[in-house]
Amino acid sequence: MSDNLSLRKELKEKFIREFTPSEKLFFLRKAKEAIDIRCYQPGEDLFHYCYFLTLKERLRQISPQDDGYLRLLLVETKRNIEEEIKFYEERLELTKQPVPDKTGSKFIEILSE
């Protein structure tokens, strides 16, 4: 149980440290949709799924000024992020429930505090 709490704390710190306020809202909105609409189970896989969705959104907002190395870097990074999203989405699909998990709100609350 203490391992889960330390992991939760670690993930929450990552969430707080790495995202802007608007990105945090995006992340939480995606997490709520995943739990309530897609019936995904809250947990580490859901965190990583939403984390990579948020990074993809961040990259979408970046527009390089030239067609050089930065553009190539953005394309490669986006491809890698999309692979991670697919990986976690497949993992979440394996544990998907027929109805939304009632503990999903706790997942959102933990990150919102």
pLDDT in tens, 37-52: 999 999 999 999 999 9
Boundaries of domain holding 31: 2-112
Decide: 10 and 112 in contact? Cβ < 8 Å: no
**pTM to 2 decimal places:** 0.88
Predicted confidence (pLDDT) at residue 1 exceeds the cutoff of 60: no
Q: CA 89, CA 84: separation in Å to the nearest integer? A: 8
Across 1-22, average pLDDT: 75
- If 0-12 CB within 10 Å is exposed, 13-18 middle and 19+ buried, where does residue 94 land? exposed
Q: CA 85, CA 40: separation in Å to the nearest integer? A: 14
- pLDDT of the residue at 20: 94
Structural domains in the chain (count):
1
- pLDDT of the residue at 38: 95
* 7 confidence band (pLDDT: 50, 70, 90): low
Across 18-32, average pLDDT: 96
